[in-house]
Amino acid sequence: MRDYIDKHMRELTVALEHVPADEIAKAIRTIQRTFERDGRIYIFGNGGSLSLATHWVSDFNKTVFSHNLKKHVKRFQAIRLPSTEEEYSAWANDEGHDMVFLGPLQNYLQDTDCVIAISSSGNSTNIVKAISYAKKRHVPVIGLSGFDGGKLNKLADVKILVDTEKGRYDLVESAHAAILHLITKYFQDSFEHALQYAKKPRKIASLTRGK
């Protein structure tokens, strides 16, 4: 039992060590630019990836600013697509499962936005259709993929690949969760630091006025 656990932990560690850090940095810069131009971040995926997308939206819209909610009037606008299960089933039933992400994206997407697509295989047709549309609109696409990356890794502007043997959803989804948490923590710390830094000039100014 212990050998099995240790082996899995080593495999996950190796998978994370080989994730391209430069691409994660590019994702952070892309999200930062989207925030600066008051754009929205649309994120989606199938199955476990949809769960990761939903979790990240919760973290990003609140946790990033959780210590300073009253001090940040402007916050991130992260939206999972589709935004409700009812909308998901309506698109799937009426237009086909290939449209569950593209349909809502066509309703909402603006030039100021960015898109995050999560797919272990990188080849899900509904994912590829949605990111192809975003590319046509010249909206930046951040792709989180696994295995060999598939079409998502080829099409995405930011290519965050968890390189594993085909079928290792356990490793890929665990790594994707860690990466998304890393991005959340980066922005949480960044905004916290910005607030602390902003306080210093005011203190200096008040001391100067008192002289």
- Using CA atoms of 106, 109, 111, 116 in order, give the dihedral in degrees to the nearest 10: -110
Find the helix or strand (DSSP H, E) in which 161 lies: strand 158-163
Q: For the segment 148-203, what is each residue's pLDDT rounded down to a tens digit? A: 999 999 999 999 999 999 999 999 999 999 999 999 999 999 888 877 766 655 44
The full set of domains in the chain, from first to last, is: 2-209 (3.40.50.10490)
Pairwise pLDDT comparison (193 vs 129), residue with the higher score: 129
CA–CA distance, 207 with 192 (Å, rounded to integer): 24
User: Which tens digits make up the pLDDT trace of 63-115?
Assistant: 888 777 676 668 899 999 999 999 999 999 999 999 999 999 999 999 999 99
- 20 pLDDT above the threshold of 80: yes
**DSSP string for residues in 99-114:** GTTHHHHHHH--TT-E
What pLDDT sits at residue 118?
98
Query: In sequence order, what DSSP letters do the residues of 85-154 get, joined into one string?
Result: HHHHHHHHHHH-GGGTTHHHHHHH--TT-EEEEEESSS--HHHHHHHHHHHHTT--EEEEEEET-HHHHH
Nearest C-alpha neighbor of 96 from the set 118, 126, 69, 72:
126
**pTM check: above 0.85:** yes
